[in-house]
């Protein structure tokens, strides 16, 4: 029995020694001397440092923040609408945009005149009695009734009057009107279900927007053709596994020219200090990407984090790299095999 336990003890000690040896080997720096690589054809490339890098193309669209356009309300239902300035076109403040025609137009104008006359009457009564109330010639209850009637009439009239301000022309038979733009900008159409006829977007509000898959680092700008726009905002609420981004106004950069709802591919720009290394330099070691860094007499295996890909190269970060470092780009797998004791190519 004692012999059996002693045998088990020796086996356990042997396993521990083997595991300990493997652990030490893994913790030791992965390095090989260049002279030990014999006739392997070794070629190197110099890494270059960049202050930013470009990511994979994204789909973007010219748009604007919700609520940034000036609406013209749908005060008249079921009227015949004719565009005098096409959606997407640029208009000046006061320029005709739409014509409305039909019996509902006549009904609105009649109601407007009636509301206006009533408001003027109520306002005169309010003005006449305001001084009498200050002189205590009328009671508080009577004044309160007059004030409430005035406020209600004012609200009802102003609701119509705001729309009436957009009317530049009324036909002689009151069957059609022409509506104008409240501000200069882009004409935006509206769905029939919306409570507005159209909106005008100040061109300074035009931006690019798109979505990007959630990741630990975000781009600081986007680029297309000769235009680069800073990313101004990321939406707080995700859209599935993506997050929506918005750029600074397109008008902030003279080189950027876009039409409303124009779709295009843009390149995200990441403001991260990275090194550009050839793709052939990368080797996988202990489930992480590495490369062979050259010193005077040896090659050392150093870990890197790949952040992006360029034509024939990766954008990487590593504390072990410095500008102008030389990295191995040929016989990379053979050197790794030599390091593992598997022999050369």
Is the confidence at residue 16, as pLDDT, over 90? no
Domain annotation covers residue 5: no
Tokens in use for 13?
A: 């000690």
Bridge-partner residues for 316, per DSSP?
275, 306
Q: Distance from CA of residue 232 to its chain's centroid?
A: 7
For β-strands 58-63 and 263-270, DSSP reports them as antiparallel
Domain annotation covers residue 1: no
Same domain, 165 and 277: no
How would you class 213 by CB atoms within 10 Å of its CB: exposed for 0-12, middle for 13-18, buried for 19 or more? exposed
Tokens in use for 210?
A: 């798109």
Same domain, 282 and 334: yes
Q: Whole-model pTM above 0.75?
A: no
Question: For residue 148, what pLDDT is reported?
Answer: 95
Segment holding 200, helix H or strand E: strand 196-201
Answer whether 223's CB lies under 8 Å from 54's CB: yes
The residue assigned the tokens 């859209």 is 239
Same domain, 100 and 197: yes
Tokens in use for 92?
A: 């000046």
Range of the domain at 191: 70-201
146-182 tens-digit pLDDT: 999 999 999 999 999 999 999 999 999 999 999 999 9
Same domain, 74 and 196: yes
The terminus-to-terminus CA distance of the chain in angstroms comes to: 52
Same domain, 175 and 229: no
Same domain, 304 and 264: no
Same domain, 194 and 223: no
Residue in 322, 226, 306 with CA at minimum distance from that of residue 270:
306
What is the total count of domains within the chain?
A: 3
Q: Work out the number of other CB atoms within 10 angstroms of the CB of residue 80.
A: 12
189-214 tens-digit pLDDT: 999 889 999 999 999 999 999 999 98
Choose one of 270, 292, 312: the last residue of a domain. 270
Q: How far apart are CA 284 and CA 140, in angstroms?
A: 88
């Amino acid at each position: 029995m004692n012999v059996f336990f002693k045998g088990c003890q020796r086996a356990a000690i042997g396993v521990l020694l083997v595991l300990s040896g493997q652990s030490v080997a893994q913790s030791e720096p992965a390095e090989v001397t260049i002279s030990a690589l014999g006739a392997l054809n070794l070629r190197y490339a110099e890494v270059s440092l960049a202050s930013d890098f470009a990511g994979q193309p994204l789909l973007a669209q010219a748009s604007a923040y919700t609520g940034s356009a000036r609406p013209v309300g749908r005060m008249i239902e079921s009227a015949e609408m004719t565009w005098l300035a096409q959606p997407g076109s640029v208009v000046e403040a006061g320029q005709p945009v739409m014509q409305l025609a039909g019996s509902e137009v006549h009904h609105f104008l009649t109601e407007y005149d009636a509301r206006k006359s009533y408001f003027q009457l109520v306002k005169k009564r309010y003005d006449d009695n305001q001084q009498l109330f200050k002189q205590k010639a009328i009671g508080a209850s009577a004044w309160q009734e007059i004030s409430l009637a005035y406020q209600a009439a004012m609200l009802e009239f102003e609701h119509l009057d705001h729309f009436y301000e957009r009317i530049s022309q009324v036909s002689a038979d009151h069957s059609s009107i022409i509506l104008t733009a409240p501000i200069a900008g882009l004409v935006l159409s509206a769905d029939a279900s919306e409570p507005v006829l159209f909106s005008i977007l100040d061109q300074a509000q035009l931006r690019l927007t798109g979505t990007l898959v959630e990741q630990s680092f975000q781009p600081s700008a986007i680029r297309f053709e000769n235009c680069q726009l800073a990313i101004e905002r990321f939406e707080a609420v995700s859209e599935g596994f993506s997050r929506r981004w918005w750029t600074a106004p397109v008008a902030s950069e003279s080189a950027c020219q876009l039409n409303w709802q124009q779709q295009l591919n843009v390149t995200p720009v990441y403001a991260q200090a990275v090194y550009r290394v050839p793709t052939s330099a990368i080797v996988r070691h202990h489930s992480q990407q590495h490369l062979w860094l050259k010193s005077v007499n040896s090659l050392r295996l150093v870990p890197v984090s790949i952040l992006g890909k360029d034509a024939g190269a990766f954008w990487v970060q590593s504390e072990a790299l410095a500008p102008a470092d030389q990295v191995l780009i040929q016989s990379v797998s053979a050197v790794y095999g030599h390091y593992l004791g598997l022999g050369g190519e």
